[in-house]
Chain A
Amino acid sequence: MLPGYAGKLLFVDLTNNSIVEENLSEELARNFIGGYGIGAKILYDMMPPGADPLGPENIIGFTTGPCTGTKAFFGSRYTLVHKSPVTGGWNDANSGGFFGPELKKAGYDAVFVRGRAPKPVYLYIHDGKAEIRDASHLWGKDTKETWAELQAELQLPGLRVAAIGPAGEKMSLLACPINDGHRAPGRGGGGAVMGSKNLKAVAVYGTGKISVADPDKIREINRQIAANIKNNPGAQAFSTMGTGSSTAASALSGDSPVKNWSGVGITDIGAENAEKLSAASLDKYKVRKYSCFNCPLGCGAIYRDVKGRWPLEETERPEYETSSAFGSLLLNTDADVVLKCNDLCNRYGLDTISTGGTVAWAMECYNRGILTRAELDGIDLTWGNGEAIVALTQKIADQEGCGAILAHGSAYAAEKYGKGKEYLQTASGIELPMHDPRLAPGFARTYQYDPTPGRHVKGSLGLMQAFGAIPDKYNYSNTGPMDVRATAAQEVENCAGLCTFISMCGIMDIKEQFLTAVTGRTFTQEDTYRTGLRILNMRHAFNLREGLRPADFTISPRVVGKPPLADGPLKGVEIDTRQLAINFFTHAGWDMETGKPSLESLQQLGGLEKVIADLYTV
């Protein structure tokens, strides 16, 4: 068996009720590492082009990396892969918690599901066995109820479950599975894909151990990480206050979008009001700390709010993205509104970023008189109206009244209502994450042109700019080399199964050190570059085969400063997105008009023979 891997892949066809197990080949692991790397290769090979994302031909994969479930710190991630019903192209979204590690302990590196079951089912995977089981009794239950019921039914308190809630069952395009009660591979409509297959949940339980090549080295690296974290004030704050430690600050600095991307934090919200969403304000609800599998930071927490307008006996600390999407984006500073919307999304199985983004679009349309109060079922969606935000989120979750339209996202709603398109803030149809490219322009290229559009955990040039690592961030003359290199590095980090917050560990080549110690194969920074580019090209090739071209990758003009803001710290910023794209495409060896990678660039990377045959065989 390959060190770091469970060694097996599972292929499930719900139409034929069949389960096939295959050994993970060394070549696949070497070329694509794991996660969405392996996922992209498998889906490219097995899925016909033009498949309906909500049809039986779409394949949904639950994929782990070699570091997932090992002793390597930060190795908690799994990635959901499928064709997106939102963008019509490639989709991957990753999640922490314990589901990924448990899947590997149960004996599998990845599970791929195609077809459509005639009635609701769940997949039960336990210690090298897999069964398709009836889930009729679980249909209609929320994600937490489903998890609890399966634990009780199977008498396994340690069972881990990735389940859709009612939103996914009704194929809301905002839907995602939720694992461990609140962790989510949220983006791109994976919950709708599961719902279209009648797949309520994947339940995993295992007692196996993942062998690694050099356990002593992993212990040594972990010790160094622990020491570095102790000396990093940012990491310490993150550990105490979570990803929301910066919510109030970001609302003012220009990092968070304000008022559906049209506002300015310091004037539209103000410093005093912004502080109502600070970690100090929110952590009065904290009951206890929560960590993902084997994480030395532990940015999660369990909250309790029994005295608020929407009492919650036990809920989760909202992530930064959630607090911003239901906060500054809507001019809301009521913490209880954020807590309630976060809880609703977790229970119904909704992506908080896209749900908040959809509410923001509706809110702007309402305040401009484009959507009427009657069209919103009588809800007074005035900017910052907390009661209205909760009411609309509940309608979206239930798909009741106007919620039946808004549950499919803002782009769908604008089409359905036949108005408000000019106020959409999306990339290729998906709502945008809560990091403003006008503060860190690298995000503009990533949001628009990454093969998985609209992501904040891809192509880390934007992250480097946000952290102040690149002083001349508004100079667009030569961004290609750094953008491509940072993107390749992020690909490898994600596919290894590592959390992106490993960046706080203070070790520059941490990915390479962990991958070498886990797999036993020496992994250099040059390997990261080549492997990352190979994975990037694989995802890109999936989109090209679907007929998508660079011109099909769109971003709303307001988001990139067209027109620029007239006030605030981002005043006057207009991003040269075209130049950023040309720089990236040229350096990656891709044609800017057709998107086609050059034959030479593909041959240099190796491992892409099928892509070459498809693109270059007449």
Chain B
Amino acid sequence: MKVKIKMLGLAAAYLKEREFVELPQGITVEEMLSRLVKNGERRDLSLLKAATFFVNQEPAGRDTVLHDGDEVIIILHMAGG
């Protein structure tokens, strides 16, 4: 299935930027995220735990199951300033 991705804030610093991603049927947001992470042994990825998600403009969790044609917004903010 094909899912549309939009990244906001710091998400693109951690994840491979894609407009669309091909995924197996029935995959969750969390599983999708693990496929997008830019891996690297020494990279500190702890902030990714704070990511927020919307699927088709509705708030979503890491366990939300994705479907063909869904639009996923991945948001990662950093507090401060």
CA distance A233 to B54 in the complex (A): 22
B29 at the A/B interface (Cβ < 8 Å)? no
Would B8 and A234 count as touching, CB distance under 8 A? no
Would A246 and B10 count as touching, CB distance under 8 A? yes
Shortest Cβ gap from B58 to chain A (Å): 8
CA distance A506 to B43 in the complex (A): 11
Would A252 and B75 count as touching, CB distance under 8 A? yes
A310 at the A/B interface (Cβ < 8 Å)? no
Would A248 and B43 count as touching, CB distance under 8 A? no
CA distance A320 to B81 in the complex (A): 5
CA distance A506 to B81 in the complex (A): 19
What DSSP secondary structure best describes chain A's contact surface? helix
CA distance A228 to B80 in the complex (A): 20
Shortest Cβ gap from A87 to chain B (Å): 22
B51 at the A/B interface (Cβ < 8 Å)? yes
What DSSP secondary structure best describes chain B's contact surface? mixed
Number of interface residues of B (CB under 8 A): 31
Given the known A-B contacts A237-B10, A275-B8, A569-B59, are A249 and B75 also in contact in the complex, defined by CB atoms under 8 Å?
Answer: yes
Contact flags B46-58 to A (C-beta < 8 A → 1, else 0):
1111111010010
CA distance A238 to B45 in the complex (A): 15
Would B51 and A468 count as touching, CB distance under 8 A? yes
Given the known A-B contacts A246-B77, A249-B76, A266-B54, are A237 and B59 also in contact in the complex, defined by CB atoms under 8 Å?
Answer: no
Would A271 and B10 count as touching, CB distance under 8 A? no
**Those of A213-271 within 8 Å (CB) of chain B:** 228, 231-234, 236-238, 242-246, 248-250, 252-255, 266-267, 271
Given the known A-B contacts A232-B44, A249-B9, are A238 and B78 also in contact in the complex, defined by CB atoms under 8 Å?
Answer: yes
Given the known A-B contacts A237-B13, A246-B9, A468-B51, are A252 and B73 also in contact in the complex, defined by CB atoms under 8 Å?
Answer: yes
CA distance A233 to B38 in the complex (A): 10
Contact flags B1-18 to A (C-beta < 8 A → 1, else 0):
000001011110110000
Would B52 and A245 count as touching, CB distance under 8 A? no
Interchain CB contact (< 8 A) of B50 among A228, A321, A468, A506: A468
A571 at the A/B interface (Cβ < 8 Å)? yes
Shortest Cβ gap from A80 to chain B (Å): 18
CA distance A231 to B38 in the complex (A): 12
* Residue of B whose beta carbon sits closest to that of A238: B78
Would B8 and A248 count as touching, CB distance under 8 A? yes
* Residue of B whose beta carbon sits closest to that of A242: B81
The residues of A that contact B38 with a CB separation of less than 8 Å are: 233
Interchain CB contact (< 8 A) of A231 among B9, B14, B44, B78: B44
The residues of B that contact A569 with a CB separation of less than 8 Å are: 52, 54, 59
* Residue of A whose beta carbon sits closest to that of B42: A231
Would B13 and A233 count as touching, CB distance under 8 A? yes
Given the known A-B contacts A245-B78, A271-B73, A319-B81, are A250 and B9 also in contact in the complex, defined by CB atoms under 8 Å?
Answer: yes
CA distance A466 to B51 in the complex (A): 9
The residues of A that contact B52 with a CB separation of less than 8 Å are: 249, 252-254, 569
* Residue of A whose beta carbon sits closest to that of B77: A246
**Those of A120-158 within 8 Å (CB) of chain B:** none
The residues of A that contact B78 with a CB separation of less than 8 Å are: 234, 237-238, 243, 245-246, 467
Would A243 and B50 count as touching, CB distance under 8 A? no
CA distance A506 to B54 in the complex (A): 29
Given the known A-B contacts A236-B13, A245-B10, A253-B75, are A467 and B47 also in contact in the complex, defined by CB atoms under 8 Å?
Answer: yes
Would A233 and B9 count as touching, CB distance under 8 A? no
Interchain CB contact (< 8 A) of B77 among A232, A255, A456: A255
**Those of A316-348 within 8 Å (CB) of chain B:** 319-322
CA distance A416 to B77 in the complex (A): 38
* Residue of B whose beta carbon sits closest to that of A246: B77
Shortest Cβ gap from A354 to chain B (Å): 15
A417 at the A/B interface (Cβ < 8 Å)? no
CA distance A435 to B73 in the complex (A): 20
Would A252 and B49 count as touching, CB distance under 8 A? no
CA distance A299 to B80 in the complex (A): 11
6 contacts between A and B (CB under 8 A): A233-B45, A238-B78, A249-B9, A252-B52, A456-B79, A467-B46
With A228-B44, A232-B43 known, 8 other A-B pairs at CB within 8 A are A231-B44, A233-B47, A234-B14, A249-B75, A253-B52, A254-B52, A462-B79, A500-B80
**Lowest 8 CB-CB distances: which A-B pairs, in order?**
A249-B9, A243-B81, A468-B49, A320-B81, A468-B50, A246-B77, A233-B13, A253-B52
